[in-house]
Structure 1
Amino acid sequence: MSGASVKFHGAAGTVTGSCFEVSGAGQTILVDCGMFQGTRSLESLNHEELPFDPKKIDAVLLTHAHLDHSGRLAYLYARGCKAKTYCTAPTADILKPLLQDAAKLQAADVERRNRRADRAGLPPFTPLYGSKDITRLHKNIRTVTYCEENYLDNGVSFRFWDARHIVGSASIEINIGGQRLLFSGDIGSGRAINCSASDIGGYDHVFCESTYGDRDRELVLVSERREMLARHVEEVMAAGGNLLIPAFALERTQAILEDFDALFETRRLAPVNVFLDSPLAQKVTMAVMRYRDSGTDMLKRSNIRFIQNTAESKKLNRMTGIVIIAGSGMCEGGRIRHHLVRNLPKRQSRLLLSGYQVSGTLGSVLRDGAKRVRISGNDVDVKAQVATLDGYSNHADRSGLIEWIKDRTPVRGSLFLVHGDPTALASLAKTIEDVPDLPSAIVPALGETWALQPAEPATRESAGRPDAADLTASRDWISKLAALRAEVEDKLSRQKSNQDREKMLAALKRALDSVD
């Protein structure tokens, strides 16, 4: 029997929380089960009950290990899922330390929040999952190889294509209900390898990521990227400060370490001390190196040092003239935050952002020029320079996304755009209007269900969440309040006298009193 449906539980109108429920031919398949990241409102979705019955899932297909695609998998099993999760071998190998670290951070965050005075008498927060749930997930993981077709019940099949994003990443083709679907996952630069080009094209419905759908990036050679990194280091060392580089544990950290190793090896850069302050990144680096022969021996270089515990991490606060690489990449958690508290007030120091910053995250706020931020209960003045370093992105830009889609034509039914912020989604959809032989793009809302038929445009079967637009806005009321608080404090500090400050506060009080 032909016909299927897809429901968008995440990465719809936003760039995180990837989760798509595909149903047809008596099978229900989940593509990814990721965490939401960004505004407080969006992150609150992680703690809601799953919007589907985990016990009715027949298979889980995981595109890659990044937490915005995998971060709620263990929660899925904590809620009773019995299905197998299929992914590549590198993804399976990397997934366990990533989720163990996520569980540890959740436990620490829950303990901290439950101790707050304003939580007295309220139901306690609980972590999404623990080590037993991660173990339960891993007992149900089955590894697959690129290109090979795998069969479920009722003639449903799937296969993984190399996505060139990170090690083990995949786009996933699903044959269900008499039609061929393709979920891009995250797409890297360069054309995919490993499968015959003759098998690529011709899908009924394609679901394409849109992270950089609103921009084309100038090509940055690895040699150019390394030169820019070297200059940042030299400028900060000359000023007597520290260089902080927030980096995701998977791929970004390894690329940065390889660049430092190359700069030291060629003597382009003096052997300054580089500290990797992320136990998770150390574990992931070891796993990644098993699958990728980069020719580097960075683990044995004496001035690239791996911080082993919290006590060693705190010692870095007393040091200057060093480079600190720590998670997370968007400054939302991990050890980078306590280094930011110590270093952001110092003009000599510099924060170097090396990756995409989701709207509403601390990284995006700093990138956009905030003069004061709140970190772990501390109001922190931002006097350090905040810079960005291009060339590390593992995402295709707008032109790369268009080429990826064109390589998979004909698209006989519909083209869905997912995994992007509203600006990127709208921009890519408009660009696609001018591309010959491509259907108009559909930008689904969070919670929507679409009916799929072979070689026909999809039709919306049910509306999305009534709060979808508010949830996926680039800034929610909490982040706006934080920005307003910082602006008020800044303007108060710049008043000429205490009398002027009293007048300003009185005016603010009158404005508040005028609101019911």
Structure 2
Amino acid sequence: MSLELIFHGAAGTVTGSCMELRGSPHHVLIDCGLFQGSRSPEALNFEALPFDPRDLDLVVLTHAHLDHTGRLPLLAREGLRAPVICLPPNRQLLGPLLTDAAKIQAADADRRNERPDRVGTTPFDPLYDLKDVENLIAQLKTVREGKLSEPVPGIGVRLWDAHHILGAASVEIQLDGQKLLFSGDIGDGATHGSDPAAPPGGCDHVICESTYGDRDRVIPSAEERRAMLAKLVQAALERGGNLVIPAFALERTQLLIEDLVALFDSGALKPVPVFVDAPLADKITRAYRRFDIPRHGPSPFDHPKVHFARSVDESRMLNHISGAVILAGSGMCTGGRIRYHLLRNLPRGDSTVLFVGYQARGTLGAVLEDGAQQVRLSGHDVPARARIEKLEGYSGHADRAGLLRWIAARGPIAGNLFLDHGEPPALAQLARDSALLTGIGQPVVPALGQSYILEPQAVAKPAQPARTDAEKLVEGKDWHSRHAALRAMLEARLAALPSDQAHDAALATLERAVETLGG
């Protein structure tokens, strides 16, 4: 029997993961994440859902990151009655993650609505509230890893360890006579073929992430990663300011704390104050302790130099410190307390901002990584004088070579390999490389809103075309930050002119150019 596979998110971009399988009679949703980045993709979060949550028979989650789960409470608000299936750690993770997301949305809406430049405009409303989160959590059902279950009659589901973050899974769906595999986000540990519990090959269709589809990376050992971190921390603090690290509350923050404490205890790094300004990370750590590998000796999270800022007042106290490491979310600087610390530290030439994860196009993190001299932040044009550094040893995603190994191990694929959750260069490169693998066939790179008819043991056929604005929406170009950068460049160029006459001539030229806008 045929199925329709629809890409509602993470098509041509790395955020907003959401795929729908329409069968006869079943409808299954895999993930329902937030679009993150510049205003254009973020606006997709507030569009009407392209499906009716009341029609869904089942929702399956790959893992707890918000770009995969951040719109789930919206489904509950709009009438979802179906069970939501995940691995056990996600029950403990999603409560605090989605509660925090609801609070951040409410706070961001209030802040935007109170800005002077927003007076008289349509007010922002959050996507959902805490009651919606409670309703969604009540619908969570956990299943054992590697065990085939039938949570709804006629729909077979098996979740495989994806080695990405705590509770992350690849999802096998058996529906209407077909077997499909959705990779979720794949960690390097899933790509070496040594895991006897890895998902087998022989699927009708495979959907694979492509985040690092165009990059080969040297994956450091824990010791090598810590040595690189120590060097960066030492150099940053010798400059006299703070080291600000945007980090996701789940997994990345815990791993950074472990590494910093290991460096303190070994003497490789002089102990310095480490402030975790993320109440969410504190709550996540409780689940992390419960499900992660048992430890021997004192927990690094109880080290005397590690301080969790649990209140707004404790967070504000960090505005006046120097010589500390500050960890705060979000990891791409799209929201949360990290934006307050960037507001204070970006203008400081003695501070350092260290990125330890992937920065999606259009996010503030990507703009800073690209070398912006000034950015738009919470209604302010903020000069970026701080030193910007990047450390890739913390990535939770497999690289190009790892993805190719994972794809090859899933062969033969009778139908198609679909590549999603990547930006255009990564998607294009992984498509070219995977097409050369034996038993994989021609890869398909879907666009936002596009759908395909899937048949057993056959090549998929295009059905619904992509959104007409798909390419523009996933470009991720934030005109607000470009505007701030343009203003900074203009001021610098004007200041460098030699005379009042030169200033007058330049301004006259600009005035004529502005008059042509919209004409």
Same fold (TM over 0.5): yes
- In 1, the alpha carbon distance for the partners of 2:198 and 2:357 equals 34
Q: Which moved more, 1:152-161 or 1:47-56?
A: 152-161
- In 2, the alpha carbon distance for the partners of 1:278 and 1:153 equals 38
Please report how far the alpha carbon of residue 452 of structure 1 lies from its aligned counterpart in structure 2 after TM superposition. 0.2
Please report how far the alpha carbon of residue 433 of structure 1 lies from its aligned counterpart in structure 2 after TM superposition. 2.5
Return 5+ residue gaps in structure 1 as ranges: none
Please report how far the alpha carbon of residue 484 of structure 1 lies from its aligned counterpart in structure 2 after TM superposition. 3.0
Question: Is the contact between residue 88 and residue 144 of structure 1 (CA under 8 Å) also seen in structure 2?
Answer: yes
> SS of 1:451's equivalent?
strand
- In 1, the alpha carbon distance for the partners of 2:18 and 2:194 equals 26
- The RMSD of aligned alpha carbons is 1.8
Note the 1:77-476 alignment, pairs <5 A.
77-117=76-116, 119-153=118-152, 155-191=154-190, 196=196, 200-293=200-293, 295=295, 297-476=299-478
- In 2, the alpha carbon distance for the partners of 1:499 and 1:143 equals 72
Q: Which moved more, 1:108-117 or 1:280-289?
A: 108-117
- Would the alpha carbon gap of residues 102 and 458 (structure 1) be closer, same or farther in structure 2, given more than 3 Å must change? same
Kindly, what percent of the aligned residue pairs are identical? 50
- In 2, the alpha carbon distance for the partners of 1:422 and 1:393 equals 20
For 1:166-201, what per-residue CA distance to the aligned partner results, in whole angstroms no more than 9, with x for missing partners? 011000001112111000000001237998559611
Question: Is the contact between residue 179 and residue 204 of structure 1 (CA under 8 Å) also seen in structure 2?
Answer: yes
Note the 1:5-84 alignment, pairs <5 A.
5-84=4-83
- In 2, the alpha carbon distance for the partners of 1:183 and 1:493 equals 55
- Would the alpha carbon gap of residues 512 and 287 (structure 1) be closer, same or farther in structure 2, given more than 3 Å must change? same
> SS of 2:234's equivalent?
helix
> SS of 1:272's equivalent?
coil
Letter in 1 for 2:87: T
Please report how far the alpha carbon of residue 44 of structure 1 lies from its aligned counterpart in structure 2 after TM superposition. 0.3
- In 1, the alpha carbon distance for the partners of 2:387 and 2:134 equals 43
Question: Is the contact between residue 381 and residue 484 of structure 2 (CA under 8 Å) also seen in structure 1?
Answer: no
- In 1, the alpha carbon distance for the partners of 2:398 and 2:198 equals 22
> SS of 2:54's equivalent?
helix
- Would the alpha carbon gap of residues 159 and 297 (structure 1) be closer, same or farther in structure 2, given more than 3 Å must change? same
Q: TM-score of the superposition, structure 1-length normalised?
A: 0.96
- In 1, the alpha carbon distance for the partners of 2:133 and 2:389 equals 37
- Would the alpha carbon gap of residues 259 and 445 (structure 1) be closer, same or farther in structure 2, given more than 3 Å must change? same
> SS of 1:501's equivalent?
helix
Return 5+ residue gaps in structure 2 as ranges: none
> SS of 1:470's equivalent?
helix
Question: Is the contact between residue 213 and residue 401 of structure 1 (CA under 8 Å) also seen in structure 2?
Answer: yes
Please report how far the alpha carbon of residue 121 of structure 1 lies from its aligned counterpart in structure 2 after TM superposition. 4.7
> SS of 1:271's equivalent?
coil
> SS of 1:325's equivalent?
strand
Please report how far the alpha carbon of residue 290 of structure 1 lies from its aligned counterpart in structure 2 after TM superposition. 0.9
Q: TM-score of the superposition, structure 2-length normalised?
A: 0.95
- In 1, the alpha carbon distance for the partners of 2:370 and 2:237 equals 24
- Would the alpha carbon gap of residues 294 and 344 (structure 1) be closer, same or farther in structure 2, given more than 3 Å must change? farther
Letter in 2 for 1:460: P
Question: Is the contact between residue 27 and residue 153 of structure 1 (CA under 8 Å) also seen in structure 2?
Answer: no
For 1:253-276, what per-residue CA distance to the aligned partner results, in whole angstroms no more than 9, with x for missing partners? 011000011111112111111111
- In 1, the alpha carbon distance for the partners of 2:205 and 2:487 equals 46
> SS of 1:44's equivalent?
helix
- Would the alpha carbon gap of residues 304 and 154 (structure 1) be closer, same or farther in structure 2, given more than 3 Å must change? closer
For 1:261-304, what per-residue CA distance to the aligned partner results, in whole angstroms no more than 9, with x for missing partners? 11111121111111111111111112111111363612221111
For 1:111-142, what per-residue CA distance to the aligned partner results, in whole angstroms no more than 9, with x for missing partners? 12223455445543221111110111011110
- Would the alpha carbon gap of residues 219 and 118 (structure 1) be closer, same or farther in structure 2, given more than 3 Å must change? closer
Letter in 2 for 1:89: P
Size of the aligned set, in residue pairs, is: 515
- Would the alpha carbon gap of residues 78 and 498 (structure 1) be closer, same or farther in structure 2, given more than 3 Å must change? farther
Q: Which moved more, 1:451-460 or 1:217-226?
A: 217-226
Letter in 2 for 1:293: I
Question: Is the contact between residue 11 and residue 18 of structure 1 (CA under 8 Å) also seen in structure 2?
Answer: yes
